[in-house]
Structure 1
């Protein structure tokens, strides 16, 4: 029977990140380790972000403790989907289920001696394009960050908006980054429909790839999309019932934690694409295991849009060599399992 270990890590951000739902200063990770009788260990992580996903850390930890007791009743060769379904029936908390899902995939890859991406598809990408994220609230700092992203080889920048002086910062970032840089705005639902329409009309002359989650809610997103020329992307609203296939956005941001892991993200990506929208993958400032999972699944899906997975350098950790950003890309880890 498998054995399970669970431990907590708290990691500070080098610089606090302002968002419409509050300032992010640190990330709490719950590391879930599943070891079989063969001695092979799979590792996953839960990364709840309460202001974003509404899941308190203690609730996530309690769910993982329940999952641990369930998994220890299975034998080593039990199907992973069966084990995950049993956990979901006990407590359907996606951010916690993600830790189990990642551990199962990591263990499967390690047992097979293959990276997870190669378990998901025969022809994954070798590397995944990623965006730089800028949260600076003043023009000079935003411009400096944009210039640094340009010099580092990024082809896409995501700028947090809805946090003050949006017009000034967007103009500063565009000037510093140059005309070739894709510029993506993320409002985290800071506006209502009328505010969003006005803001997007003012900011669009800077040349926008798309505006992510300008408002919360499917009907509001659809209303904004119908009134602006810029493309609109869905993030938090993707959690709403029926949102993935409702045609409310041009693109949808999917996250390992919100989807309940790799298997859930793949299923949701299929729904999004069936509705004609583009898929890209991002994180909620996850740790290395969550980022690695995002890279593997983005590679398996052959995502072309820049993904929001270049966030480890914002954390006060030693970034694993396999997950370092080079030229605006993260190469898919080649080690077995998640590869970190």
Structure 2
């Protein structure tokens, strides 16, 4: 039998994040622990963010409680994820179980997680810095600091007032060699609005724009109307095609979910990269290991404090497990 238990962890962001969906100052995540008959254990993390993904912490906790009832009567050789999915097919809850399973497998085999996923995993993952402040001067200062620290890409939240002025200030602060990525979180309501806003922002030089609008057809239409590479994020349809990149999240089904999404996106001709929803340490570690195993070359949005970034990269942990 497998015992599942859950506890809560809270942490405060180093600085508040301002996005089109609201402001984030504090995170609360659920730590999922699986205890196995072999005496070993694994811990994962379930990290919904309701303002962003519409999934409440309460609904995830309820799903995990249901999983605990099922796993208590399950043999260790059974397909744990499939058994949980039959009870509640909630990706944010399944992610916590999935990470715990990978954590256990890494500990049991004594293999660092990235190499367990793929022996060809790289040793470091490129990452971007995120600028989530609305004031142009503050945004420029944050971007300049990131550039001095060695980041070769900064991501700026847009869909707020004064986007063009803020982006111009950021470009002036970082110079021509640092990539600027923008993230609208679907704030632009129509294709026409998105294309108009991108025309305003394009002169600063954009590496890509994440989720200018929500929905597959809207994203395809925006990509067809602009030279700026468009990345799909909240619109979770990695194999749909029509965009240049897909942003993958550990919260959507864990490592197993990301690997499946990456295969679908690449088959559709899109680049992939990973980002967090300001997850806790286990979620960030899982994403770094997965990005290394996928040999991602685009900068990933994982420099959120759980693992130290130096010169624009995060070194992949070589210890076993996620903690």
TM-score normalized by the length of structure 2: 0.97
| Partner SS state of residue 244, structure 1 | coil
Q: CA deviation at 1:202?
A: 1.2
Give deviations 1:231-285, integer Å, cap 9, x for gaps: 1111111x2xxx3222221000010112x11011101100100011100011111
State the distance in 2 between where 1:183 and 1:10 align: 31
Equivalence for 2:106 = 109
Equivalence for 2:80 = 83
Q: How does 1:311-322 map to 2 (within 5 A)?
A: 311-312=304-305, 319=306
* Runs of 4+ that moved beyond 3 A: none
Give deviations 1:146-175, integer Å, cap 9, x for gaps: 111001110110000011110111011011
Q: Is residue 25 of structure 1 aligned with residue 22 of structure 2?
A: no
State the distance in 2 between where 1:26 and 1:40 align: 32
How many residues were matched structurally? Answer: 322
Q: Is residue 175 of structure 1 aligned with residue 179 of structure 2?
A: no
Q: Is residue 44 of structure 1 aligned with residue 44 of structure 2?
A: yes
Greater shift in the superposed pair: 35-44 or 171-180: 35-44
Q: CA deviation at 1:324?
A: 1.1
Greater shift in the superposed pair: 269-278 or 13-22: 13-22
Give deviations 1:81-100, integer Å, cap 9, x for gaps: x1110000100000000000
Equivalence for 1:250 = 244
Equivalence for 2:265 = 272
Equivalence for 1:186 = 183
Give deviations 1:171-211, integer Å, cap 9, x for gaps: 11011111100110000001021111111111111111011
Equivalence for 1:12 = 12
Unaligned runs of at least 5 residues, structure 2: none
Unaligned runs of at least 5 residues, structure 1: 313-318
| Partner SS state of residue 260, structure 2 | helix
Q: Is residue 68 of structure 1 aligned with residue 30 of structure 2?
A: no
| Partner SS state of residue 245, structure 1 | coil
Q: Is residue 224 of structure 1 aligned with residue 222 of structure 2?
A: yes
Give deviations 1:21-47, integer Å, cap 9, x for gaps: 111121110001112233212000000
State the distance in 2 between where 1:105 and 1:325 align: 24
Give deviations 1:110-135, integer Å, cap 9, x for gaps: 01111111111111010100100001
State the distance in 1 between where 2:106 and 2:213 align: 39
State the distance in 2 between where 1:39 and 1:105 align: 16
State the distance in 2 between where 1:180 and 1:227 align: 26
State the distance in 1 between where 2:238 and 2:121 align: 24
| Partner SS state of residue 60, structure 2 | helix
Greater shift in the superposed pair: 103-112 or 16-25: 16-25
